[in-house]
Amino acid sequence: MSDGRPFALGCFRSVNGPEGGAALFGLPGSVRRLARTTGSFTRALHRHTGRPVVVRRLAEGWRNQKANHWPIPRDTRVWQRRVRLESGEVRVEALTEVAGVNGPITPRLHRAIAGLADTPLMGILERQPLCRRLSFRVRREGRTITRETVYRIHLARVRVTEWFDIDAC
């Protein structure tokens, strides 16, 4: 992103490619660029297909990570959101997990993530003042590419996993 927002300096301080990028060797350049994008995946998908991207929310809610009894402490729960990005013939499934690292998710971050509805996640991440990308990995298993990015926002960890079929691209 070159629009000078603090997000570009925060989350994407380094723009190096993902770990595991060699797994994409032999794929068409357009598919490699899509899989290795370091900015908004929704925008990259739009550039890739040349068509608008529709975000369809499939499921969202709290998942209990550790405790199996009531009451479940907030710092042991994980907020999950599953969406499908559709652009032309391309379908991308994405799972976002938000978990507290050293304590509960801040109410501000929870409201932001829970209020996404059918909008792209990057719209929320770019407004977070203390956002840092911790890791970015890509892997290929047969005809499926999986991307996993982990961000830290304040004390919360946000893991975003996207997967798509190479044949659809």
pLDDT of residue 6: 40
Distance between CA atoms of 69 and 67, rounded to whole angstroms? 6
Q: Per CATH, is 6-168 categorized as 3.40.1410.10?
A: yes
95: enclosing H helix or E strand: strand 90-100
Task: List alpha helices for the chain, DSSP H.
Answer: 6-10, 29-36, 41-49, 107-114, 122-125
| Per-residue pLDDT in tens (0 to 9) along the chain, 169 residues | 334 444 444 455 555 667 877 778 888 888 888 888 877 788 889 998 999 999 888 888 877 655 455 555 555 667 788 888 899 888 888 888 877 766 667 777 777 777 776 677 777 777 777 778 888 889 898 888 888 888 887 777 888 888 888 776 6
Residue 113 in contact with residue 89, Cβ under 8 Å?
no
What are the angstrom distances between the C-alpha of 115 and each of 22, 118, 129?
Answer: 36, 9, 18
